Structure formats: C-alpha cells, structure tokens
Amino acid sequence: MTSSIDAISRRGFLSAVTATGLGVVTAGSGVSAGANTDGSWPQPGATAGKTSWLQGGAGPTGELTTSWNVGETRDGSKTEIGAVVNGTVYAADSALRAYDAADGAERWSVKATVPQSAYGDSMRADIAVPTVVNDIVLAPVRIGNENETVHTTIVAVEADSGAKRWQLGVDSQKTFSSLTAHGDSVFCCGPARSGSNQSYVYRIDAQGSAILWQAPIDLDTPGQNTILVADGRVFVAETEGVRAIDAPSGKVLWDALPDVNARDVAAVWNDTLIVWEAAYPGSTLIALDVITGTELWKTAYGGETIVAVEAIDDERVYLSMNNATTIIALDRLDGSELWREPLPETPATDTRAPAGQVPTAGLARVGSRLYAGGSMLDPTDGTVASVTAISRPEIGELELAAVVDKRCYFHGGSIHVLESVDAPAHTDDPTVTRNETTPDSGSDNTKPNSATTDNRSPPERTGTTPTTSTEGGGFGLLGGAVALVLAGWRRRSS
C-alpha cells in the first residue's frame, strides 16, 4: 500500500515540527519495538562513542561467502548503511530503505521529495545515513543543489513500516550532522533554528522531536562534525579545541586544546577521548581524560602519512593508514604503537576465474576478531586470519559498514553481505572458494599470498519487491491547518 500527501505550503515545511507527507511502500515485517539487543549495530560506529566495537557481538569466522547483495542505485547515488538492528538493515541512498538482514528483501522505502513551489526545480533532497533508536529510524535530510544548501531537516519514521513519526527543519545554508543515539535521545550539530549564523549542539527527544536543550558552539560547518556521547558527557570539536557538555542538562563542563585545530572527536571509550588533528603534512592523535579534559598522550605521524581512527576497545586504538592500506594498533593507555600490519593486496586476476578485489576500507572490532575491509585479523598482534575477495564491478567503492550476527555488511556503490561458508545456504548465492595456500588462523604473523575469491559475479536481485514511486508527495510539505489535522498521526518520515 502506498500512502502519500501532496505538498501544500512552504510555511508548513519550515515549521519547527513539520507534519510531512511521504511515499511509503511496505513489504513484510520490520523490527519490533524495544531496546536494541546486545550485538546490534544501531548507528554509524555502532555506539554513541563511535567505538566500532561490539563487546557482545558475534562476527563470522573462517572462510566467507556472499550471503546477498543489492546492486547499484538507479541514479548512481552512494548507499550508506547506518544500522543493523533486530534482523533489519537500515540504509540510505536516494531514499531511506529497510532490508531483511537474512536475504536482502526490501521491507520498505521512503523517498524524500522537494517542494518545488518553495525551492525550484534545480533542488534535490539528499538523505544521510540513518540511526535507530528503539522503534524509530532517524536521518538528516539536505535540500539544495551541488552549490547551495537551502534547507536542512531531521526526519523520523517507524522502523517496522517507514510510516512518518515527525520532522524538524529549518531554512539554512548549514546542515545537521549525523545523529548520535544515546538512551531515548539523539544528539547532533546543526544550524540555529532562528536563522542566525550561530551553530548549536542539540539534544532531541527521539520519540517526539522535542528539543531538550541546545548549546551554542563555535563551528562554521556543523554538518561535518561528529558528536560523541559517553560517561554522561557530550563531546564535540569546535573550530579550535574540544568541548565537553553535560548530556542531561547541556551545561558546558570543560574546554580543551584551545590552540589545536581539532578536526574531529574520533572515538571515546572508558576514560579516553581520542581527538584527531589533521594538518599537512601528517596527522596527530591526542587522547584526553573524559572527566577533566587533561591531555593523556599524543601520537604524531609526519610526512605524507595520514591516519584515521577506526575503532577502540579496552586495550587498543585501531587506526587505518594511507587510504586503509595498513592497520595500526596503539596502546589505549599511552598511545604507543603495538603493531602495524599491511592489508593483503588484491591478487592478480585469472581471466578464467576472476579473483575479484579485496575491500580494505572500514573496520569493526567484534567478537575475537578485528575486521578490516575483507580481511580478518587477530586484534592482539595483527596476524591475518583470512582474506575475502569479491567480484563486483563497483568493488572499489565498497567499505565495511557493520558486523552483526555473523555477517559482514559492506556499502558504497551497492550493499554486499558476507557470511561464513558454513552458514545456512542461500540457493541463489555464488560460492566463495579459498586458495589452499592461504594460511589458517593458526599461522603466526604470516600474510596470505592468495585471497579467498568469489569466482562469479553475484546476480542482481530482481524479485517483485515494490519500490516507492517518485510521483506524489514523498516527504511532501504540510502546513497550517493540515499540520493540525495530522498532529495525532504518528508516522515517521526520513
């Protein structure tokens, strides 16, 4: 069943809480209400601290095979997986979508549309990566063209159906950042709702869009920043320095690194906040005490070396170096380097059976393994346990997004999911074989000289899953009287 409501007025779209229309197509059941179970991946980075570490999670081991895949979007937009919760994958491309985690069947999709009467034909609506809070899926939306942003909003839809819950937006050239979920709230950076040039950190009630508090910050591009939440504190990098804010009240607790161009707060766990400072040449990581903001240690990389913080656990901080060609583990307590491991290169292609390519981007620390792209490593010393290559034409764009319930989820030009070869078979899945010379997990510090390969290009899913029509309202705008009539209509929209 498709439901849509046509745009009525510009004023309705600009309301702080806007009743909106949307095109929604449902297919099957979605996630159930309630708190996420241990091992779920409810948001980018897995946790509110962006640790990419699931203490209670389970990842695949040994040889991997393709479980399912969804091909490139028709308009060529990038696909981003934000969450994998209770058997459902939540992703965004040109629409917000929910897929069955077991077989990739699309459960529903919600497409944003632009009110042409307000913004003109040149504008488009771009949906960013989603976050899940209990039974709600939330995502930022930007309206604009390649050169200009004219409106930004946060939309919320029902996780089981894609039905609209609420929308919060403002006319601005700035955008909302990705959403960090903690408890029943989401935190983000964004523009002033008054229309001024000030930027704010917001705490928003995920159930009903109420702004619980807003705290001003010195930031010109709030949409590009990351919000971390841990130990009752919200952490954000400003134009210069880092700020800690009390999560319940919005009160500023401390400011640190006033002379540092802290490009982002990268991850936080236990008592350690990792700040990433990027400067040419090189990059620097600075660890701060979460309670006081005191500097704990600093590790710098010079020359042409660029590192990015990918994950953190009790003992180590994991970095990718130089476009994810190498993984580095630092001691969480003092920043010293514990190990460094180049990721296996893609093997030469055999024209009779293309070996595919090995993804290297993306990292997750789940169970007893460190998952780095298509490679599995021992987190204690970096030993490579197994490698998987995938034959996909858009493989160069694939990045590991999540590891949940013994599956590895990749996104980019498409969605591609890997699972262990001993998992329940899917009759339409291609077989992945392993070269006999690839060492097993018992080999010490030995790099594989051949990758696990997917010898056939996986078939595109065709099926009859309905998709949202681009005709009709999409995230159509409602104003004035219509908003009042629909105030009790509890549906979510992205």
- DSSP β-ladder status, 53-54 and 363-366: parallel
**Residues 486, 493: contact at Cβ < 8 Å?**
no
Residue 259 lies in a domain: yes
- Residue in this structure with the two tokens 């069947």, named with its chain if needed: 105
pLDDT by residue, tens only, the chain of 494 residues: 222 222 212 333 333 333 333 444 444 333 222 333 357 999 999 999 999 999 888 899 888 889 998 876 656 678 899 999 999 999 998 899 999 999 999 999 998 877 777 777 788 888 999 999 999 999 999 988 888 888 999 999 999 999 999 999 888 888 899 999 999 999 999 999 988 889 999 999 999 999 999 999 998 888 888 999 999 999 999 988 999 999 999 999 999 998 887 778 999 999 999 999 877 778 899 999 999 999 999 999 987 788 999 999 999 999 999 878 899 999 999 999 999 999 887 654 444 444 578 888 999 999 999 999 999 999 999 999 988 888 765 555 789 999 999 999 999 888 999 998 877 655 443 333 223 222 233 333 333 323 333 333 333 433 333 332 222 334 443 333 323 333 333 333 33
Number of C-beta neighbours around residue 268 at 10 A: 25
Residue 220 lies in a domain: yes
HEC profile of 48-116: CCCCCEECCCCCCCCCEEEEEEECCCCCCCCEEEEEEECCEEEEECCEEEEEECCCCCEEEEEECCCCH
Residue 493 lies in a domain: no
Q: How far apart are CA 285 and CA 277, in angstroms?
A: 6
Domain count, the chain: 1
Six-digit token string for 70: 């969804």
**Residues 10, 478: contact at Cβ < 8 Å?**
no
449: containing domain: 10-485
Per-position DSSP letters for 150-179, written without gaps between them: EEEEEEEEETTT--EEEEEEEE-SS-----
Residue 359 lies in a domain: yes
- CA distances, 124 to each of 115, 164, 169, 293 (Å): 9, 20, 15, 41
Structure letter (DSSP) for residue 146: S
Q: What is the CATH number for 327?
A: 2.130.10.10
Backbone angles phi, psi at 6, to 5 degrees: -70, 150
For residue 258, cis peptide bond before it (omega within 30 degrees of 0): no
**Residues 214, 201: contact at Cβ < 8 Å?**
yes
Number of C-beta neighbours around residue 300 at 10 A: 14
Residue 492 lies in a domain: no
Residue 138 lies in a domain: yes
pTM, 2 dp: 0.79
Residue 95 lies in a domain: yes
Residue 124 lies in a domain: yes
